Structure 1
Amino acid sequence: MAASSVIVSENGRGRYQQTVCAGQHQLLADEPASMGGEDAGPAPFDYLLAALGACTSMTLRMYAERKDLPLEQVEVELRHDRIEIDGQLRDRIRRQITLRGDLNPEQRQRMLEIAGKCPIARALGQPLLLEAELAA
């Protein structure tokens, strides 16, 4: 699989404001005022949650189409917090998935299982190789 590139750079319009270029799309990122930003765009964790939510919803839509399921709409609400486990603070993301349509209990349960198989959920749910290097 070819790696895609996203370029993030300070835009000079605020203390923490960033311009995010993903292909032909340009987005804005910032920190909320409570963190010293101007809240001019979503915070980095909001983008992480958005990526997981979008991937979850798209994966469920694709599965429903392949299986010809009567799925009318998917909505994914995501929340991030930090909890203590065995004396260590850990990040936790919780997804609440709403499935609208005439799905029976078995189909709904299978959809929940499929939600865990979306590529972003798989990447976040296992040790991730995260590398950084300085550009020349």
Structure 2
Amino acid sequence: MQDVIVKSAGEPYRTEIIMDEHQWFADEPKMAGGADTAPPPTALLLSSLGACTAITVRMYARRKGIALDGVTVTLRHSTEHDASITATHIVCELALEGNLSHEEKLRLMEIAEACPVHKLLTGPIEIKNIMIGK
């Protein structure tokens, strides 16, 4: 996978995101001090999970000849703060369209959890910040 480059792109918090020839932006909502010119980072994270889920389900259905006409993924998250831990909950609702049996729907729901972003978010993860330059 190619590097993703993220850099400041305006005041107060607009941020440019670049990967290969692709470019998109993030910002914070006005209530958080941003200009609300682009989705906030949390929405981009949820959109990554939703896109990966939809793609994974569609790929599986195509390979198995399942008559999936489309999939819509709706995501939301909430955070619970405790004295010792912060727990994040993500709800991922899938609307599966097409002439599908109950068994096919259940299998596609199982496959949704096999998407790479789902695995990344639910597996052990380590993030290391490294300062570059002086």
For 1:59 and 1:29, the matched residues in 2 are separated by 25
| Aligned length in residues | 133
Which residue identity lines up with residue 21 of structure 2 in the other structure?
Answer: Q
TM-score after normalising by structure 1: 0.92
Residue 37 of structure 1 corresponds to: 34
Structure 2: 5+ residue stretches without partners: none
Q: Percent identity?
A: 36
Residue 121 of structure 2 corresponds to: 124
Q: 1:119 to 1:134 in 2, by over 3 A?
A: same
Deviation at 1:88, TM superposition (A): 3.3
Q: Is the aligned partner of 1:95 residue 2:104? A: no
Residue 108 of structure 2 corresponds to: 111
Residue 4 of structure 1 corresponds to: 2
Structure 1: 5+ residue stretches without partners: none
Paired residues for 1:44-63 under 5 Å: 44-63=41-60
Say which is worse superposed, 79-88 or 107-116, in terms of deviation.
79-88
Deviation at 1:85, TM superposition (A): 7.3
For 1:14 and 1:81, the matched residues in 2 are separated by 28
Which residue identity lines up with residue 39 of structure 2 in the other structure?
Answer: P
TM-score after normalising by structure 2: 0.94
Q: Give the SS at the match of 2:36.
A: coil
